[in-house]
């Protein structure tokens, strides 16, 4: 390896932050509050414990836990040691967890006692290759890392990671089939941290609240917070009342939420009235598209505090950024954008022949740069497909306007072909959610003898609304045109979402496509 240009790893970022910010508040959950110095001690203790288990540089660690300070300290310890860390989504099924532990060749799994004890025991029974079952709290047959934790001698924080090492082996959401392990080297991790650090509108005093799992987007956002000596507050899941209370109590200035949770916050006027949320200076949203009409409602309530990210596991968090200043409602349609390409990246829109498309023409978002993954773990064919033509193919289709803003129309696999028209669900969903009675909506294509596929919508109405399907169909026809108007609408209590907050179209499609080939993976 080129020693002269090595360094700049996720491990060095952590070690640097601990050394710089000593007694500043670093992280808290419901029961722990650590300064940077105390977080450093906890990281050092986990390094001692991991070494005691025989884990070392190149070992593979996975964690199944809710949002808690020890979890983040253990992730940091693995990163500093040069281990390969694989997150597990707390809401995923046992089969998914078992597949990931086996596929990623995990050496040690840490599970949280109580909540995930049975899952940990089940995984151990099903994966003979798993060498160590460790735990936070008592779990049958596991070593409890927290027992006597305060008496463990912290190892000195020395970064053993290398730029080219895999820092995170993160698995895709699996919305289009079996999830794949994405090899994210330290190079990509630190590129991401620097882009987020520089390109988001962070408040001067960063007090960041993570409610969605730190195993995913909410977690990697902690790196730029640490770079700036900010404070991270972890909460276990999202419940509007307690979430608002924590914002008020901890004077939270920055949050990350998926759109569905922002909608819940917008609709909970009575709860918001009980808590002082005036400290909120930056609300980052992403992981799924947000309705421009609901975004307008949010801006009216919270002010011009919104920042949007667009990325994917293969190019984490920041392919494009929509900054506060970009949320300009005087520019028609601008609130439907996902922003402009981030610095340090090349981002282009290509057609199926890898020709760059013109302004206003749909093309697949393709990316190059140090942010991009090394490829899919043990999947050379999938890697070659994703990297064809020397670019990362995201699978997302967008158009670009004259000012360079991108507008994602949808996943290539989600497109509905109805009567010869190419219809993207996002277009219909935005039209439905522009109606005053609609709280949220999801759209899929279903088999249709006449049209090939017919547009079908699932709609959640706002409390007290009783509008019928015909009114909403006419509304979409008026806004978009007849082909976009849903042929049928089901009114539902809630839209199914994946653990990452994306609409779960697989679940919605299943009853209609069972045993039929839709022509996509």
Closest by CA to 84, choosing from 101, 70, 99, 67, is 101
Predicted local confidence at residue 517, as pLDDT: 45
Give CA separation, 214 vs 74, 140, 372, in Å: 12, 25, 21
Identify the CATH number of the domain in which residue 434 sits. 3.30.300.30
Q: Are residues 352 and 450 in the same domain?
A: no
Take residue 41 and report the two structure tokens written for it: 């001690």
Q: Are residues 408 and 459 in the same domain?
A: no
Backbone angles phi, psi at 317, to 5 degrees: 75, -30
Identify the CATH number of the domain in which residue 63 sits. 3.40.50.980
Is there a contact between 459 and 466 (Cβ–Cβ < 8 Å)?
no
Predicted local confidence at residue 419, as pLDDT: 66
Is 105 inside any structural domain? yes
Predicted local confidence at residue 133, as pLDDT: 98
Backbone angles phi, psi at 468, to 5 degrees: -100, 170
Q: Are residues 329 and 438 in the same domain?
A: no
Is 1 inside any structural domain? no
Per the DSSP assignment, residues forming a β-bridge with 234 are 210
Predicted local confidence at residue 94, as pLDDT: 87
411-436 in b/e burial notation, b at 16+ Cβ within 10 A?
Answer: bbebbbebeeeebbbbbbbbbbbbbe
Q: Are residues 358 and 388 in the same domain?
A: yes
Per the DSSP assignment, residues forming a β-bridge with 340 are 321
Q: Are residues 68 and 91 in the same domain?
A: yes
Q: What angle do CA 340, 257, 21 make, to 5 degrees?
A: 85
Q: Are residues 260 and 200 in the same domain?
A: yes
Q: Are residues 136 and 224 in the same domain?
A: no
Take residue 326 and report the two structure tokens written for it: 């970009």
Do the strands 306-312 and 375-376 form a parallel or antiparallel pair, or are they unpaired? unpaired
- Strand order through the sheet with 438-448: 438-448, 452-461, 488-491
Is there a contact between 311 and 333 (Cβ–Cβ < 8 Å)?
no
Q: Are residues 431 and 508 in the same domain?
A: yes
Give CA separation, 194 vs 81, 88, 483, in Å: 21, 25, 44
pTM for the whole structure? 0.83
Is 174 inside any structural domain? no
Q: Are residues 345 and 488 in the same domain?
A: no
Q: Are residues 210 and 242 in the same domain?
A: yes
What DSSP assignment string belongs to 150-198?
GGSPPPP------TTSEEEEEEP--TTSS--EEEEEHHHHHHHHHHHHH
Do the strands 363-369 and 340-341 form a parallel or antiparallel pair, or are they unpaired? unpaired
Domain residue limits at 332 = 191-412
Q: Are residues 353 and 487 in the same domain?
A: no
Give the C-alpha separation, 383 to 237, whole Å. Answer: 34
- pLDDT tens digits in sequence order for the chain, 521 residues long: 568 888 899 999 999 999 999 999 999 999 999 999 999 999 999 999 999 999 999 999 999 999 999 999 999 999 999 999 999 988 777 888 999 999 999 999 999 999 999 999 999 999 999 999 999 999 999 999 999 999 999 999 999 999 999 999 999 865 445 679 999 999 999 999 999 999 999 999 999 999 988 887 788 999 999 999 999 999 988 899 999 999 999 999 999 998 878 988 999 999 999 999 999 999 999 876 788 888 999 999 999 999 999 998 999 999 999 999 999 999 999 999 999 999 999 999 999 899 999 999 999 999 999 999 999 999 999 999 999 999 999 988 899 999 999 998 866 677 787 766 667 788 899 889 999 999 999 999 998 877 778 899 999 999 999 899 999 999 998 887 788 899 999 999 999 987 667 788 888 988 987 755 444 33
Do the strands 282-285 and 254-257 form a parallel or antiparallel pair, or are they unpaired? parallel
Q: Are residues 372 and 426 in the same domain?
A: no
Backbone angles phi, psi at 31, to 5 degrees: -130, -15
Closest by CA to 321, choosing from 218, 230, 405, is 405
Is there a contact between 195 and 318 (Cβ–Cβ < 8 Å)?
yes
Give the C-alpha separation, 259 to 502, whole Å. Answer: 9
Give the C-alpha separation, 410 to 301, whole Å. Answer: 28
Predicted local confidence at residue 155, as pLDDT: 98
Is there a contact between 238 and 258 (Cβ–Cβ < 8 Å)?
no
Give the C-alpha separation, 92 to 507, whole Å. Answer: 14
Give the C-alpha separation, 394 to 391, whole Å. Answer: 9
Work out how many domains the chain is built from and give that number: 3
Predicted local confidence at residue 190, as pLDDT: 97
Q: 458-465, long-range: CB within 8 Å, 24+ apart, which pairs?
A: 458/489, 458/490, 458/492, 458/495, 458/508, 459/432, 459/489, 459/490, 459/491, 459/492, 460/491, 460/492, 460/493, 460/494, 460/495, 461/437, 461/491, 462/267, 462/436, 462/437, 462/438, 463/267, 465/437, 465/438
Give the C-alpha separation, 410 to 433, whole Å. Answer: 16
Predicted local confidence at residue 521, as pLDDT: 30
Closest by CA to 142, choosing from 157, 156, 122, 164, is 122
Predicted local confidence at residue 519, as pLDDT: 40
Compute how many other C-beta atoms are within 10 angstroms of the C-beta atom of residue 346.
Answer: 11
Predicted local confidence at residue 513, as pLDDT: 79
In terms of Cβ atoms closer than 10 Å to its own Cβ (0-12, 13-18, 19+), residue 370 is middle
Give the C-alpha separation, 438 to 329, whole Å. Answer: 21
């Amino acid at each position: 390896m080129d020693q002269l240009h090595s360094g700049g790893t996720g491990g060095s970022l952590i070690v640097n932050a601990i050394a710089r910010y000593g007694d500043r508040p670093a992280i808290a959950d419901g029961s722990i509050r650590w300064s940077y110095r105390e977080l450093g001690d906890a990281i050092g203790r986990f390094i001692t414990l991991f070494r005691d288990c025989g884990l070392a540089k190149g070992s593979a660690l996975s964690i199944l836990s809710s949002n808690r300070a020890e979890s983040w300290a253990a992730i940091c310890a693995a990163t500093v040691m040069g281990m390969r860390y694989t997150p597990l989504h707390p809401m995923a099924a046992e089969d998914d967890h078992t597949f990931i532990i086996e596929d990623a060749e995990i050496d040690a799994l840490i599970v949280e006692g109580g909540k995930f004890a049975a899952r940990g025991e089940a995984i151990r029974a099903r994966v003979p290759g798993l060498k160590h079952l460790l735990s936070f709290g008592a779990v049958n047959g596991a070593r409890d890392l927290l027992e006597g934790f305060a008496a463990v001698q912290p190892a000195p924080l020395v970064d053993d990671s290398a730029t080219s090492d895999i820092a995170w082996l993160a698995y895709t959401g699996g919305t289009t089939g079996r999830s794949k392990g994405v090899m994210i080297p330290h190079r990509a991790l630190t590129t991401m941290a620097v882009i987020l650090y520089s390109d988001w509108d962070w408040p001067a005093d960063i007090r960041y609240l993570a409610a969605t799992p730190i195993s995913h987007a909410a977690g990697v956002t902690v790196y730029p917070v640490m770079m700036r000596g900010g404070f991270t507050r972890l909460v276990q899941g999202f419940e509007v009342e307690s979430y608002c209370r924590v914002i008020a109590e901890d004077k939270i200035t920055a949050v990350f939420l998926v759109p569905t949770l922002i909608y819940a916050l917008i609709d909970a006027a009575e709860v918001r009235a009980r808590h002082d949320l005036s400290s909120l200076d930056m609300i980052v949203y992403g992981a799924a598209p947000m309705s421009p009409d609901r975004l307008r409602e949010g801006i009216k309530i919270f002010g011009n505090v919104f920042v949007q990210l667009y990325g994917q596991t293969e190019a984490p968090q920041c392919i494009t950024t929509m900054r506060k200043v970009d949320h300009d409602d005087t520019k028609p349609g601008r609130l439907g954008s996902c922003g402009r390409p981030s610095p340090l990246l090349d981002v282009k829109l290509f057609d199926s022949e890898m020709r760059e498309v013109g302004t206003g023409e749909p093309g697949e978002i393709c990316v190059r740069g140090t942010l991009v993954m090394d490829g899919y773990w043990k999947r050379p064919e999938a890697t070659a497909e994703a990297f064809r033509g020397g670019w990362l193919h995201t699978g997302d289709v967008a158009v670009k306007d004259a000012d360079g803003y991108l507008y994602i129309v949808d996943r290539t696999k989600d497109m509905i072909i109805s009567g010869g028209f190419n219809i993207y669900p996002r277009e219909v969903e935005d039209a439905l959610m522009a109606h005053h009675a609609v709280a949220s909506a999801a759209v899929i294509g279903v088999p249709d003898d006449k049209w090939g596929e017919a547009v079908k919508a699932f709609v959640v109405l706002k409390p007290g609304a009783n509008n019928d399907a015909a009114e909403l169909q006419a509304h979409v026809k008026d806004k978009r045109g007849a082909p976009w108007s849903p042929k049928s609408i089901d009114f539902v209590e809630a839209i199914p979402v994946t653990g990452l907050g994306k609409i779960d179209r697989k679940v919605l499609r299943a009853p209609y496509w069972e045993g039929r080939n839709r022509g996509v993976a």
